[in-house]
Amino acid sequence: MSTETLADFPARASDKLRYGDTDAQGHVNNAVFSTFLETARTELLYAAAEGDEAILDPDCGFVIVRLELDYVAEVLWPGSVDMGTRVVKVGSSSVTLDQTVFQADKVVARARSVMVQVNLASRKPQALSERAKARLEALI
């Protein structure tokens, strides 16, 4: 049994559950979990902290190249979920993230994803700047 809490993660986000997220069994559909993870990843990689630059380099975007998702418990509507994210590894153009989804402080899912920075014009991987690497490494 995991004793992991949201406080164990340097980056945190939350999402409100919608009735439309539920399936025929009355719990949040498994596909919606990917949306929770996306919310947390994009807030980390694209949104700049107040007075700080975004991690993303100019003229670039991040694409997801791998997602491993383990469902731990069902999520029920109504309510909200919280997501914790930490960096596991920083590569030359990629970053590996560990994420955990919580509902009412209970772990409901765990994921590992690999994101690659790509140049928007060439659509090819672009090396992370030293500034971006330093910002990401601070989240390990």
Instruction: Write down the pTM of the prediction.
Output: 0.91
Please give the structure tokens belonging to residue 30: 């498994």
Report the residue count for the chain: 140
Q: How confident is the model at residue 136 (pLDDT cuts 50, 70, 90)?
A: very high
pLDDT per residue over 22-74, tens digit each?
A: 988 889 999 999 999 999 999 888 876 555 667 888 899 999 999 999 999 99
Rounded alpha-carbon distances, angstroms, from residue 48 to 61, 100, 127: 14, 21, 19
> What is the distance between the alpha carbons of residues 60 and 90, in angstroms, rounded to a whole number?
17
Which residue segments constitute the domains of the chain, with CATH numbers given? 6-137 (3.10.129.10)
> What is the distance between the alpha carbons of residues 118 and 94, in angstroms, rounded to a whole number?
9
